[in-house]
Structure 1
Amino acid sequence: MQPSPYTPGAIASELPGRDHQLAEFDERLSLMADLRQFVGRPRIDIAPRGVGKTSMLAQVRRMAEQRGAVTVWVAGGGSGSLIADLVAQLEAATESWAPTTRRKLHDLASRASFKVGVGVPGVARAEAEIAAPHTAETSVPAGAGEFTAFLAEAAAATQREHRSGLVLFIDEIQDADQSGLSSFAHGWQNLQHLPGQGPAPAAVFAAGLPNSDSALRAAASFTERWDYQPLGLLSQYAAIAALVRPAQRLGVGWGPDVLQAAVEYAEGFPFTLQLLGDAAWRAAGRPDPGGQITLANAMTAQGVIATDLATLHRARWNAATPAEQTFLQAMADIGGSSVSRAEIASRLHVASRSLSEHRERLIVKGIIRVTGHGRLGFTINGFGDYLRSRAED
């Protein structure tokens, strides 16, 4: 018996079907690590939950560390202050650096207008107050200048410590506090205008829900020029690889007929593929090397994970308002993996433009996704079937 190699709900160790995206990340890391360039345009990968944003961001972090970079990871909505989290994590990542470098970073943090405890051996701990949100859209928020100075020194220090650069990772960026997002955006932007030779090698990679661009634009209008990349569902080939590769490493196979049924059932959703793989593995008795996942195992797995998916479907339905539920029911009744906004409006006997507010709220809630120009789909497979069944009951 072997433990399951599938990881539903956890960070995946490999990312089949994401080779193109990883190659783009590698190119940016090469600019920073090999050519010692400052990568000024942050990249934000956006997608609904369950598509693999965090797993991909974690893989890029491993790539950056393999290239000798200092990495800092934070998630929006943590302590309440994005800037405080970034500085605290950077302080933790530099514990082994020279005392003079850490003392200088400590002094810069102490003068800043964000609240963070900074500890340096032999130096007293210091705290400063969080900056109040700025009101004018074009004004620079309090604390941005201090944050720029702090980042500039940290990036420069990576060179003195013989590291290839500084890379910041921000997960769930849409949940970060607006004041922190504004200070971060302005602080990062200001790095590009430093006097002298310019900023040291550094880069920013982030991930968030489809409303991330709106959250960032509300914090600083110029962030509309940042690099937002939608992360789609897996192709048939990638879905097959997501099931086959983990099993192959343990000497276990999937039959072609089994794979076809499993891939059709999952519809390219990474979370569902991991659920299905894990349940099929257990249905096969946690096979030893030489074992096979059979069609019967896959059918059993579908029945097992139906409960998990039903719970998820029910939670998403309950998260919608009555008006939004009407919108969702119309999508389900139309059917298909992708429906047009015009079809929804026609079914509800309303003008297409009147759907905008419900559409945006459902996207922010992660219940629907954009599948093309003027087209929408659900963010988890089987949701349409669930709604049609619910309506019949």
Structure 2
Amino acid sequence: MREPLYTPGAGRVPPELVGRDAVLERWTGTLSTARGAAHLPKDVVHTGPPGAGRTVLLGRALELAAGEGYRVLRVDGRPGAWLRDALAPELATLGLRLDLLDADETAALAERVARLPGFLAEVLTDLAGVDGEGRGLVVGIDDLHLVDPEEAGRLGVAVELMETPPDAPVLLVATGGPDTWERLRGDGLRPVNDHPEKWFDLRPLPALSEEEASRALQRPAERVGVRWEPEAVELVVATADGHPGRLQSAAAAVWALGSGTDPVTAAHARQALRSVELPAP
């Protein structure tokens, strides 16, 4: 049995990130052009089913933002009083670290952020440009679809109200499930946000191509001196059907049947794929 190489499970970074180059290149362009732009682009929400690599993509997007000199803040989506209990504490922590807030001010921050979109806009703007450094701020939100529509709506209003200086923009980048748009609008009996597209640009994550999935299997193995037989690659790629989570789960099961630097064979693939539990596509 070999040492684990592939990474099944939510939020785990794969040994070879594939199929997201175009998404990340577009994001890098946004980071570059936002500074100095007269009008900021819409904030981006990348959507996909569980296992599509949303959390990994968000982490990489925030790494790129930090590399471009932005301050970054990451928060997970969840039901309930999200602005008060999730976003506000992260804002307070960053504000304390930058000496923008003192301990007394942070005590009242949560309630004001939750109730007053204009105040939230001010806090975000201040964090983006504190010390006059003109760095800007990127807020990353994972699982936006879990946030109650009313809470997401207040965040959207705050985005509309922000008047950031050109050299210190505030950008939001989020991930969400396939139902994110419906969640943002609210239920049919009680619609909350009729036009969330005013605030967010929804971008479904594409499935992996066969070439991308093959590369995700073979390149990590090649780095440790192991070769995948072509038929084994075909079997795993077909089973994954373009889904990153299924690909990692299937690859890990097949990989575990081998030993040392022996090739990964079609026999390994058939045996493992008969019993492995895969995420839903």
TM over 0.5: yes
Pairwise CA distance, 1:102:
2.8
User: Which of 196, 200, 203 is 1:223 aligned to?
Assistant: 196
Deviations 1:366-391 (A, max 9, x none): xxxxxxxxxxxxx52xxxxxxxxxxx
Cross-structure match for 2:189: none
Unaligned runs of 5+ in 1: 117-127, 132-141, 313-378, 381-393
Pairwise CA distance, 1:94:
4.9
Cross-structure match for 2:239: 265
Give the distance between the partners of 2:172 and 2:121, measured in 1 at CA. 14
| Structure 2 counterpart of 1:154, one-letter code | L
Cross-structure match for 1:179: 150
Cross-structure match for 1:210: 178
Give the distance between the partners of 1:268 and 1:198, measured in 2 at CA. 40
Give the distance between the partners of 2:62 and 2:42, measured in 1 at CA. 17
Higher relative CO (CA 8 A, sep ≥ 6), structure 1 or 2? 2
Cross-structure match for 1:145: 118
User: Which of 267, 275, 278 is 2:249 aligned to?
Assistant: 275
2:32 aligned with 1:30: yes
SS class of match (1:74): strand
| Structure 1 counterpart of 2:185, one-letter code | R
Give the distance between the partners of 2:23 and 2:38, measured in 1 at CA. 20
Give the distance between the partners of 2:244 and 2:211, measured in 1 at CA. 13
Pairwise CA distance, 1:37:
7.3
Give the distance between the partners of 2:93 and 2:59, measured in 1 at CA. 18
Deviates more, 1:290-299 or 1:268-277: 290-299
Aligned residues: 273
Deviations 1:99-140 (A, max 9, x none): 3x233x963x5555xxx3xxxxxxxxxxx3785xxxxxxxxx
Cross-structure match for 1:139: none
Report if the CA contact (8 A) 1:25-1:60 is conserved.
yes
Identity of aligned residues (%): 27
Pairwise CA distance, 1:93:
3.7
| Structure 2 counterpart of 1:215, one-letter code | R
Give the distance between the partners of 1:58 and 1:31, measured in 2 at CA. 21
CA RMSD of aligned residues (A): 2.7
Pairwise CA distance, 1:199:
8.0
Report if the CA contact (8 A) 2:2-2:258 is conserved.
no
Pairwise CA distance, 1:32:
3.5
Report if the CA contact (8 A) 1:170-1:205 is conserved.
yes
Give the distance between the partners of 1:244 and 1:95, measured in 2 at CA. 46
Give the distance between the partners of 1:213 and 1:26, measured in 2 at CA. 24
The verdict on how the C-alpha distance between 1:198 and 1:268 changes in structure 2, with shifts beyond 3 A counting, is closer
Report if the CA contact (8 A) 1:37-1:200 is conserved.
no
Q: How does 1:1-393 map to 2 (within 5 A)?
A: 3-10=3-10, 11-13=12-14, 14-32=16-34, 35=36, 39-77=40-78, 80-97=81-98, 99=99, 101-103=100-102, 107=105, 116=110, 128=111, 142-157=115-130, 160=132, 162=133, 164-192=135-163, 197=165, 200-218=168-186, 219-225=192-198, 226-285=200-259, 287=260, 290-305=261-276, 308-309=277-278, 380=281
Report if the CA contact (8 A) 2:47-2:177 is conserved.
yes
Give the distance between the partners of 1:280 and 1:20, measured in 2 at CA. 29
Give the distance between the partners of 2:193 and 2:104, measured in 1 at CA. 27
SS class of match (2:275): helix
Q: Give structure 1 regions of 4+ aligned residues with deviation exceeding 6 angstroms.
A: none
Report if the CA contact (8 A) 1:185-1:220 is conserved.
no
| Structure 2 counterpart of 1:274, one-letter code | Q
Give the distance between the partners of 1:106 and 1:67, measured in 2 at CA. 32
Give the distance between the partners of 2:71 and 2:219, measured in 1 at CA. 31
Pairwise CA distance, 1:245:
2.1
The verdict on how the C-alpha distance between 1:273 and 1:37 changes in structure 2, with shifts beyond 3 A counting, is farther
